[in-house]
Amino acid sequence: MTKKVCVIPGDDASPEAVLNGVSVLKSMEMDVDWLVLPSGEEGLAQHGDKWAQVCRDAIDACDTTWFGSTGGKTPVLQYLRWGKQTYANLRPVKYMAGVRSPLARPEGIDFVIVRENFEDLYVGIEGDLEVLKPLGLRGSRQDGAPIPETGGKFAIKIITEAVTRRIVEYGCELALQRKAQGYSGRVTVATKHNVLPQTDGLFRKVAADVASKYPDLQYENFIVDDFARRLVAEPHRLDVVILPNLYGDILSDEAAALVGGLGVAPSGCYGDNFAYFESVHGSAPDIAGQHVINPTATMLSAAMMLRYLEMPEEADRLEGAIAAVYAEGKVLTRDQGGDASTEAFCDAVRSKL
Ligand code: IPM
Ligand code: MG
């Protein structure tokens, strides 16, 4: 059956990556209908207040969404995550030969970050300290001193047992699948349970409990700052890394740096009935209009999308073509030490398909 893909080009430099990526994918002549929306800027100009609804309707009309990064002009990220319940944010961290890494030996780095996508500080509940005053709270880490009553703000961090259980189960199932393909079956969780024994303590406790039901996996837990060091010092030993939302956001950028930076870091957000795909990077307003954005992250996200659409051979074909361009090392974008335009890089990929 023909698959339907909604393409949201996003804002700033992102449409340059996405639209060129679309032309590469179209040249693969797959059984796919592409519903390509305008960029954030054009969408706002054309549809005004209705723009968000136009995006939501297009998302709902398709099997999946290929999403360009947004700087705010494309107001549907909330819908794709919370609205469509895509709770598991998968961020593969895999070194490709020829990509520029700051490490001496990046070869063989190949793990996946599974970031919880809903909770933690991302519930977005903040306010004036005055709001907390009637609660008479005391900080457990400040020798029980009362917290300041005025002159600042607070943010709320929420961790629930159910959402934690679901993300850790997701990560463990992924680790089992990977183990069947020859990976180590190591599951690593990082939390700040020493300072946050309730919230991160709960995440850690639930993670250990879930992991105990998977005797074929090796489970480990680190304090997150220690893990940030390990991520750089010994990335080769990692396989599946499961993180609460905020640490997952921060450390997936750090992890991307190990294997070539944000220009090559793909991602997919999966729920039970829907998934969408986006690069890890933002909309790069500083290079908008210059046609120098590296479309690799966007196209590798599309390869994840093709696997989700049950087109694994096409996914391999696309990844293989991208890898071949890096292996040859002749056509590289600026972030990789070359001077190729986004278009020239996509042409090179097309020639390797
Ligand atoms: C990401 C981004 C987003 C996030 C921003 C744009 C809200 O940093 O996908 O990693 O924090 O989730
Ligand atoms: Mg981020």
Is 179 marked active-site?
A: no
Tell me which ligand sits closest to the C-alpha of residue 269. 1
- Element (DSSP H or E) covering residue 94: strand 88-94
What is the rounded CA–CA span in Å between residue 99 and residue 106?
A: 9
The preferred substitution site among 12, 14, 69, 77 for testing ligand 1, maximizing ligand atoms within 8 Å of CB, is 77
**Residue 122 CA: which ligand is closest?**
1
Annotation says 122 is catalytic: yes
Single-letter amino acid, residue 339: D
Helix, strand, coil in percent for the chain, rounding step 5: 45, 20, 35
Distance CA 66, CA 293 (A): 17
* 249 CA closest ligand 1 atom index: 10
**In angstroms, what is the span from residue 328 Cα to ligand 1's centroid?**
32
Please tell me the distance between residue 281's alpha carbon and the centre of ligand 2 in angstroms.
Answer: 7
Ligand 1 contacts CB of residue 11 (under 6 A): no
The residue length of the chain stands at 353
Domain ranges of the chain: 1-94+284-353, 121-156
| Amino acid found at 273 | N
Q: Distance, CA 126 to ligand 1 centroid (Å)?
A: 18
Pick the CATH number of 1-94+284-353 from 1.10.1740, 1.10.8, 3.40.50, 1.10.1130: 3.40.50
Q: Are 211 and 173 within 8 A, CB to CB? A: no
Q: Which ligand lies nearest to the CA atom of residue 77 in the structure?
A: 1
CA nearest ligand 1 atom 9, residue: 280
Q: Of the residues 95, 249, 326, 335, which is catalytic?
A: 249
253 is catalytic: yes
Which residue in 3, 192, 219, 335 is the catalytic one?
192
| 296 and 135 Cβ atoms separated by less than 8 Å | no
From atom 6 of ligand 1, which residue's Cα is the shortest distance away?
282
pLDDT tens-digit profile, the chain (353 residues): 899 999 999 999 999 999 999 999 999 999 999 999 999 999 999 999 999 999 999 999 999 999 999 998 988 999 999 999 999 999 999 999 999 999 999 999 999 999 999 999 999 999 999 999 999 888 877 677 888 889 999 999 999 999 999 999 999 999 999 999 999 999 999 999 999 999 999 999 999 999 999 999 999 999 999 999 999 999 999 999 999 999 999 999 999 999 999 999 999 999 999 999 999 999 999 999 999 999 999 999 999 999 999 999 999 999 999 999 999 999 999 999 999 999 999 999 999 99
